[in-house]
């Protein structure tokens, strides 16, 4: 059975935004080291360019995530599903906070720590989303 139009739109937007948010972090992680050869400011320039795409994608993820949840009846879901959903919501918040603190970090160590937290939480949220999708 194919997804109806509005459902297909919701899921497409959610997956596309996750591709940008999560996939972009992974790609950027791989580009930081090599970009340093272009100059000391290159990683910062790349990060700012990525942020212009990533933050709107994060907003789309939150909106479409809420939209996804609104399609389910809470009482009909198992305790395990509800638990995973609540954990995912917390992890999504940690990913956003980690990315925000990463972007505002003033030391190389803080940048690395918050970037790691943001990236790990983002991948964890992706996995939890797959579990919720069944």
pLDDT of 1 strictly over 80: no
Residue-wise pLDDT for 10-35, tens only, equals 999 999 999 999 999 999 999 999 99
Residue by residue, what is the 3-state secondary structure of 56-112?
HHHHHHHHHHHHHHHCCCHHHCCHHHHHHHHHHHHHHHHHHHHHHHHHHCCCHHHHH
Percent of the chain predicted with pLDDT > 90: 94
Rounded Cα distance, 99 and 114, in Å:
7
| Cα diameter, the chain | 56
Residue-wise pLDDT for 84-100, tens only, equals 999 999 999 999 999 99
pLDDT band at 134 (very low <50, low <70, confident <90, very high): confident
pTM: 0.92
Q: What does pLDDT average to over the chain? A: 95
Both structure tokens of 51:
């942020």
pLDDT of 59 strictly over 70: yes
User: Domains of the chain: which residue ranges?
Assistant: 5-133
């Amino acid at each position: 059975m194919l997804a109806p139009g509005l459902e297909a739109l919701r899921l497409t937007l959610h997956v596309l935004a996750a591709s940008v948010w999560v996939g972009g972090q992974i790609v950027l992680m791989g580009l930081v080291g090599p970009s340093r050869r272009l100059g000391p400011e290159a990683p910062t320039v790349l990060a700012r360019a990525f942020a212009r795409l990533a933050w709107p994608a994060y907003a789309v993820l939150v909106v479409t995530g809420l939209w996804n949840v609104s399609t389910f009846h809470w009482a009909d879901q198992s305790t395990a599903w509800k638990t995973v959903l609540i954990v995912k919501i917390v992890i999504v918040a940690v990913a956003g906070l980690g990315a925000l603190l990463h972007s505002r970090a003033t030391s190389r160590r803080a940048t690395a720590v918050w970037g790691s937290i943001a990236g790990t939480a983002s991948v964890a949220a992706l996995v939890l989303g797959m579990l919720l999708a069944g």
